[in-house]
Amino acid sequence: MVRKTVVVIGHGMVGHRFVQAMRDRDVTGAWRIVVLSEESAPAYDRVALSSYVGAWDRDALALSGNRYDDDTSVELRLGEGAAAVDRDDRRVVTTMGIEIDYDALVFATGSYPFVPPVPGSDAERCFVYRTLDDLDGIRTAAEAAGPGATGVVVGGGLLGLEAANALRLMGVEPHVVEFAPRLMPLQVDTGGGALLADLIGDLGVKVHTGVSTTAIAETDDGLRVTLGDESVLDVSLLVFSAGVRPRDAIAREAGLPVGERGGVLVDQACRTQDPDVYAVGEVAAVDGRCYGLVAPGYSTAEVVADQLTGGSTTFAGADMSTKLKLLGVDVASFGDALAVTERALEIVYSDPVAGTYAKVVVSDDASTLLGGILVGNADAYSLLKPMVGQRIPGDPSALIAPAAGSAEIGLGALPDDTEICSCNGVSKGTICAAICEGAADVATVKEKTCAGTTCGGCLPSLKKLLADAGVAQSSALCEHFSHSRRELFEIVVATGIRRFSELITRYGTGAGCDICKPTVASILASTSSDHILDDDRAALQDTNDHFLANMQKNGSYSVVPRMPGGEVTPEQLIVIGEVARDFGLYTKVTGGQRIDMFGARVEQLPQIWRRLVDAGMESGQAYGKSLRTVKSCVGSSWCRYGVQDSVGMAVTLERRYRGLRSPHKIKFGVSGCARECAEARGKDVGVIATEHGWNLYVAGNGGQRPAHAQLLVSGIDDETLIRYIDRYLMFYIRTADRLQRTAPWLESLDGGLDHLRDVVCDDSLGIGGDLEAAMRAHVDGYRDEWSAVLEDEEKLSRFVSFVNAPETADPTIAFGEESGRKVPVLLGAPSFPGT
């Protein structure tokens, strides 16, 4: 089969979406895809560009599968753009001088930042806000300016306020200059813009509206910016964020028609005048109009992929609704937000005390919702946006007034063709059909429909549709307890119950199972400093906790001594080596900066641990749902880039939280600078040093579902850092479900990161003191689990392969050699000691 070639010029979010859509549809492998990317970084989440600030981790913004490493049908050429297009010969010449023939060509060149023609706009300290490289340049200038630096952002739209927030995160005091009479003039009205200006002004951002920038002059230590009202701002740097323009230069040079305001003219099939050339995303002027949001861009990518693979899909218009948090302020705009529809009516509810503004635009007979604006509180967005164009089942003022939320106004009243997920074009009917076919939770609905997998703004609607369908998941832990894990936790704390038998007698039924027993065991361990093998608790544990070691595939165990922050003395290393040698153990340095010793028989565990404990080492709890490791770089003690003592902080944190039992395992990382050698943003708790203090990241993890940690707070001192981590961990332990890691816990938490920040940093629930006291009780009561076992003959008696023949070793445990390494050999089914 002769394969055809499609060349994609541009590898932004939409270009990447096009490649994915082509690979999904091209089941026969008829197309070869060549992607030209001017940037050295493959496709990343430009919408979340501001999250790059603080972490400075490019990988954190990378879009899934953006390198196509295992896909032989896709060739990605990074750092190589298009220099020219020869439509007669159907050939693209790259910036490297390479000629590539095409059967189809897709322009996905996006847009470029508009820089107003202001004298001095090319000064060295003037920047634009568009790419990762742009942010790196701004960061360098901000660091050079030092403490007390100020900056100007020219442009008060979406990107302008994002840029202002980025400057704040870099320690720069920002001014925002907007030519229009209000902020975000394309999304909000006068009332919403006024409230927005007040709210972000309270955060330290100086707002100048209704004024232009007339001149920029360089000074010895910065810039002098003159505004249209003749006022002058002396600042350290300036960022232009005054809108974007379609990147259509190459298309123009190739003779393709462009729109009146720029952009490559395409029809509803996103095809240009040349039938072999298409345009997607911000550069595509569909019937003369360019769309600057990612959702319509994705739609154009899907259209072209469908057209090239034999389909007939066309572009059906775009939802320009937006919901975001700017400098901590909720802002949402949907439908005909500015009431441009003839004879439309506006209903406004403003509460300056609460700092909220809401407006809905309805038809002249008040029967149909046309659009709206929310500032300060955007909780109603997930309900209102899908209702645009639909009949309002009740009093329209109830949509935004304090009494809103009556039973008659909700998703249930909307028809099945209502679009719930605008990013992926998923209707209410599609979601409800997935629920009827057995999707009983949000994760399954996302998997089956793709709803909620892009911006996540529709997740509350997915939960509501599940509840309306009567399939809201039970919170019962198992068949023996009708309570959730969180409720059982509160019961244990309130009643002081310390035995599983008493708990199930009073609050459950039956004898328990392998779900509720280890869960209750974890709760009991989280609420006291009693040893996990005391009383009847030993029988509740799974195999690993029962023997304080991690069972391997052939029934042997691994031994992992704790090394706080990765530190270990030469004497301890010698002991580890001698133990491994004497007991014939396989040793491996783990990714968490520990030494793991494999192949120990259960009866050998006490002998091994006695030698390790005598050397001053403790259990690393590698077997438990608890703190595993605190990984660190060498920090300012040794590294020339380090700005804080990351090793000292890692040791402090590991010693504080060692032995802390939780719903799932917990891992920490502490990096001494933004170079992030400890990979802190892939941990449940990530701490990154800056010159202004510590940045605290939460709810990240590796594993089957990797998740990047999210920035909770920045620039805090040691004491505040530990206090916030205390609260965060104890709040997680109290409220998470069974075996729920911190990332999905945060995702399921009502209010998400903002609510968590309110609880941890602002003590919005008034439980900060309780959470800190619970953590102090753990710290004060901690005792190494293996040390306690070695001092207790009854506990030691458990460590045998067969209780009726304690001197007999398990004959099914055997080892072999592979490539010079000791490996387990399976002679039969792995045994379970104690049987």
Binding-site annotation, residues for siroheme: 677
Report the distance separating Cα 377 and Cα 196, nearest Å: 11
CB 672 within 8 A of CB 691: no
CB 307 within 8 A of CB 279: no
Helix or strand holding residue 134 (H, E): helix 132-145
Report the distance separating Cα 371 and Cα 363, nearest Å: 10
Tell me the three state secondary structure of residue 50: helix
Report the distance separating Cα 513 and Cα 516, nearest Å: 6
Separate counts of helices (H) and strands (E) for the chain:
25, 39
CB 239 within 8 A of CB 267: no
Tell me the three state secondary structure of residue 760: helix
Report the distance separating Cα 622 and Cα 2, nearest Å: 54
Q: How many residues appear in the chain?
A: 835
Angle between the 500-507 and 516-526 helix axes, to the nearest 10 degrees?
Answer: 110
Residues annotated within the binding site are: 633, 639, 673, 677
CB 324 within 8 A of CB 293: no
CB 239 within 8 A of CB 153: yes
List, as one string, the DSSP characters of 320-367: --EEEEETTEEEEEEESTT--STT-EEEEEEETTTTEEEEEEE-TTS-
Amino acid at 78: L
Residues annotated within the binding site for [4Fe-4S] cluster are: 633, 639, 673, 677
* Tokens found for residue 127: 């920047």
The count of other CB atoms within 10 Å of the CB of residue 260 is: 9
Report the distance separating Cα 220 and Cα 222, nearest Å: 6
31: closest CA among 98, 113, 131, 106? Answer: 106
Report the distance separating Cα 371 and Cα 373, nearest Å: 7
